[in-house]
Amino acid sequence: MNYNSSKSALETSGDPLTDMLRGLRLDGVDYGRCVLGEPWAVSFPAQKAARFHFIGQQGCWLFTPAKEWTQLSVGDALLIPRGDAHVLASAPGVPPVPIGRYTIEPVCENIYDVSNGCDGCKTLLFCGSMHFNLDGSHPLLEMMPGLMQAHKLMANAPGIQHLLDAMAGEVTMDRVGSGGILARLADVLAATIIRSWVENGCGDATGWIAAVRNPDVGKVLAAIHLQPERDWTVEALARMMGASRSAFAQRFATVVGETPAKYVLRVRMHQARQWLARDGMRVSVTASRLGYDSEASFSRAFKRVMGVAPSHFRNAGAEEQS
């Protein structure tokens, strides 16, 4: 994320979801076009990247991260923000085979054909690994539901179907530049599914949906994510909501599930990790940018949240770039 410490960094759109999604972008996407003859079952292991699926032809079944079977129809879409393990199958009970053991042929850059060689009724799946610029433990992604199913939202978000149709067309036509176009369509689709889930989230009273749908708490969350390097005190956040310190703290904790101070700290340390690992920023510079008086005090706070010293991520980032 390219945060700006100037006043303009806090210019908001008036829509908390839009402001929060500003920092959520795709850094890379891998696609698999799967043509599978019955019977079949594909297991997708847990991974850091998010996963996306849509059903292009012939329905199938999903064994969810919550260990439940649910039926999917043509045109359904799934977004699994934290990449939790799951299974797609032609029917419940079919022994699952890891995705890596299927026949995988490259089509073009980051796009692959996947097949199982069976002659039964064919199902067309479009599966993607979506590498967000935030990892799954970031507070923004951590608050999201583990599974977002678009079939429940299709009636209220007709644009999703048009995006799915466009993606299916790009895959089947295999035209020059389809990889780049698919990446952009997937970016829009991910944001659309998230927005639809927020707007029609089955009345969830707590968690990410409630936080973003709540105009007061959503406004505070958006400000924190837009400028994590700011010294966000509880008093400053309470003023933004127009509430007393105690009333704000109680309301925030009820909706979000943790105290404002703890949430702000986690967002700031995740931003620090990006500066260290992605940008190669020195630990001392990172500490100063976040307003810490000393590198040592920053390092203690970072280790308390992230579990390792900040030098671990800076060294890892330097190795990846070498």
The per-residue pLDDT string of the chain (322 residues; one tens digit each, 9 = 90 and over) reads: 333 333 344 455 556 666 666 666 656 667 777 888 999 999 999 988 888 888 878 889 999 888 899 999 887 878 888 889 999 999 999 999 998 888 887 766 666 778 887 888 888 888 888 777 666 666 667 767 788 877 655 666 677 778 777 877 776 666 777 667 776 777 777 777 767 666 665 445 455 666 767 778 888 888 888 888 898 999 999 998 889 999 999 989 888 888 999 999 998 998 898 899 888 899 999 999 999 999 999 999 999 999 999 988 876 544 444 3
pLDDT of residue 153: 56
Give the separation between CA 273 and CA 162, rounded to whole angstroms. 37
**Number of CB atoms found within 10 A of residue 18's CB:** 13
The crossing angle, in degrees rounded to 10, of helices 234-241 and 215-226 is 130
Q: Examine residue 215 and say whether the peptide bond preceding it is cis (omega within 30 degrees of 0).
A: no
pLDDT of residue 18: 66
pLDDT of residue 57: 81
Q: Which of 245, 313, 322, 234 is nearest to 281 (CA)?
A: 313
List alpha helices for the chain, DSSP H. 16-21, 139-142, 158-173, 178-199, 207-213, 215-226, 234-241, 245-256, 260-277, 283-289, 295-306, 310-321
The crossing angle, in degrees rounded to 10, of helices 260-277 and 295-306 is 100
Query: Positive or negative CA dihedral for 6, 12, 13, 17?
Result: positive
Contact 181, 230 (CB under 8 A): no
**Number of CB atoms found within 10 A of residue 297's CB:** 11
pLDDT of residue 286: 94
Contact 199, 155 (CB under 8 A): no
Q: Is 126 helix (H, G, I), strand (E, B) or coil?
A: strand
